[in-house]
Structure 1
Amino acid sequence: MPPGSPHGELGGFLDPFGVVVDPELLALALTHRSWAYEHGGAPHNERLEFLGDSILGQAVTVQLYRDFPSLSEGELAKRRAALVSTVALAEIARGLGLGESVRLGRGEELTGGREKDSILADTVEAVIGAVFLSTDAAIATRFVLDLIAPLLSDPERFMDALNALDPKTSLQQEASNRSLPHPQYVTTGSGPDHDRRYTSRVELAGVTGRGVGKSKKTAELAAAQDAVTRLQSTAH
């Protein structure tokens, strides 16, 4: 922790970006729901994650639109999906050492939660939300662009991210290729908050994909992957 850092014991990963975040918001952004459950149902970062996801998407969309004036809507969408994917955001989090600062419950700690792509990516989005609420839209946008700058400036890393598009994007592309509406997910959860399980189902072109996971996002990703695999097998 650098001397004089404005972010105290929560970690100095924000210092290189020149942003100062309200300490309570930063603590909330770094709080996973597993920790919250073990501490009397304390607040956790999912609302901030929701906000940050929107800010991230807008900032990336505008930047790509300006940087690639000759690209079609479909190509711009593919690049945006690569930059905001779970894989890309988790890579950004690891570069910041963000996993060391996340507050996790004992179960997630024991099962390697600090290295899970989904937890790392969600935390990045929550931090973006905290930056927005602590500063303003312009500073939050600059912060987002600084986060993704290493990917944009390195063609090889960007192509790796592009090739690692999540299954939901791949399924959406399948729908577009077949001139079908975007696939809709039906996702339900069961079990206590600290050990919740989600089941998701998605249909496209008569094929049904199913998936389960410890979060709504992971269940939907699993369902999308199942659907993509089934569609590809029926095409051969």
Structure 2
Amino acid sequence: MKASRRAESSLEKLGCYEKTIGYAFNDRGYLIQALTHRSAGAVHYERLEFLGDSILGVIIADELYHRFAKAGEGDLTRMRSTLVRESSLAEIARSFNLSEYMIMGPGELKSGGFRRESILADVVEATLAAVYLDSGRNFELARDLVRTWFADKLKDIHPGFEQKDPKTQLQEYLQGRHCQLPVYRVVNITGEDHNQQFTVSLECSLSKEPFVGYGSTRRGAEQCAAQKVIDLIHAHSARD
């Protein structure tokens, strides 16, 4: 009886996730694989993530190319990077309540892997690939889903300075005011080689306290920390 209830509960959760992403699977094996971390089984999301990353990149690039007919290659590249970067995908994952549906081993659950932005981002891409394969490689269907998932972000994005990565924005901001450049330090590295988590401390003249960033790479953690400084700058500007 308990096993039956758990099975029903799992099916209900999968159904909820399907409603959230806007697609009902014909073969839920694809969906289960997309939601499964390597800590929970030999069949996991990493191959799907590889495919989904490429599909997403093409769809976003095509969308930007046609939306911004006068934008140059540099602006288009920066806008695409903004939309598909780890933190952006993690935001979409959180809007899906994705951590409620992910399948992880006990150790990864205990370490809080379901909250890790790198994993959340990977599962969004894996979900896209799962939809693409389950639909018989229907690219137009995948495109429509991406447009829906990214609707707010596509509406808000535009060419210009804001699309430069956070480290570049911060450096240019400080240089323009003749301030000392920020100092980044790796303060912690956790996890196995294939799934590391970096913690970086950023010190700059704008605050007495350091800013802390996290990411699956050193660069990603540095970008995360720099984004926190940029957010502070924007908050102060809004108050002024």
Q: For the superposition of Structure 1 and Structure 2, which TM-score range results when normalised by the shorter chain?
A: 0.5 to 0.7
- Contact kept, 8 Å, 1:86 with 1:166, in 2: the verdict is no
Give 2:28's aligned residue.
23
* Partner deviation per Cα, 1:19-51 (whole Å, 9 max, x = no partner): 222200000000011112xxxxx2111000001
CA RMSD, Structure 1 to Structure 2 (Å): 3.1
Q: Please list every run of 5 or more consecutive structure 2 residues that lacks an aligned counterpart in the other structure.
A: 1-10, 169-190, 199-214, 227-240
Q: CA deviation at 1:18?
A: 3.8
Inter-partner Cα distance in structure 2 for 1:102 and 1:18: 17
Give 1:108's aligned residue.
108
User: SS in structure 1 opposite 2:54?
Assistant: helix
Give the 5 Å matches for 1:89-108: 89-108=89-108
Give 1:141's aligned residue.
143
Inter-partner Cα distance in structure 2 for 1:84 and 1:128: 13
User: SS in structure 2 opposite 1:146?
Assistant: helix
Q: CA deviation at 1:60?
A: 0.2
- Contact kept, 8 Å, 1:52 with 1:127, in 2: the verdict is yes
Give the 5 Å matches for 1:56-71: 56-71=56-71
Larger radius of gyration: 2
> What is the identity percentage for the equivalent residue pairs of Structure 1 and Structure 2?
38
TM-score, normalised to structure 1's length?
Answer: 0.64
Give 1:196's aligned residue.
192
- Contact kept, 8 Å, 1:30 with 1:101, in 2: the verdict is yes
TM-score, normalised to structure 2's length?
Answer: 0.63
Name which of structure 1's ranges 144-153 and 119-128 shifts more when overlaid on structure 2.
144-153
* Partner deviation per Cα, 1:54-91 (whole Å, 9 max, x = no partner): 11000000000000011100000000000000000000
- 1:95 is aligned with what amino acid? S
Quickly say closer, same or farther: Cα 1:101–1:162, change in 2 above 3 A. Answer: farther
Q: CA deviation at 1:16?
A: 4.8
Inter-partner Cα distance in structure 1 for 2:139 and 2:149: 15
Give the 5 Å matches for 1:1-236: 8-21=12-25, 22-36=27-41, 42-135=42-135, 136-154=138-156, 162=163, 165=165, 196-198=192-194, 213=196, 218-219=216-217, 221=219
- Contact kept, 8 Å, 1:49 with 1:123, in 2: the verdict is yes
- Contact kept, 8 Å, 1:28 with 1:44, in 2: the verdict is yes
* Partner deviation per Cα, 1:181-219 (whole Å, 9 max, x = no partner): xxxxxxxxxxxxxx6325xxxxxxxxxxxxx9259x924
How many residues align? The count is 173
- Contact kept, 8 Å, 2:48 with 2:127, in 1: the verdict is yes
